[in-house]
Amino acid sequence: MFRINKNQNQSFLCAEHQTIVESARLQMEKVPYACTRGGCGYCKAKVLDGSYHMERYAKSALSDGEVLDGIVLLCKTYPRSDLKIICE
């Protein structure tokens, strides 16, 4: 179980086998999402610290440049350590 620190003033737990959107929804934490399938880009967040695995997503939802900048799709991201993220 890892801790997701959001916007420097909120945090919630996320299991290794859950996406950040899934765990946030289960714990009534607010994170942006819409399709939950990696297709819309609505769940974008910037990872400031920590490691993660991201499943396949639509290139139209997240560009290669954004990936290089540490932007992820929370609906496709599985934590591999505690994370610090910035999102709406």
To the nearest whole angstrom, how small is the minimum distance from the Cβ of residue 42 to ligand FES?
A: 5
Residue among 15 and 34 whose Cβ is closer to ligand FES: 34
The b-or-e profile of 41-75 (16+ CB within 10 A means b, else e) is bebbbebeebebebeebeeebbeeeeeeeebbbbb
* Among residues 31, 47, 61, 87, the one that binds ligand FES under rule CB under 6 A: 61
Residue among 11, 22, 42, 67 that touches ligand FES (CB under 6 A): 42
Question: Residue 24, interface with ligand FES (CB under 6 A)?
Answer: no
Which DSSP helix (H) or strand (E) runs through 21?
A: helix 20-26
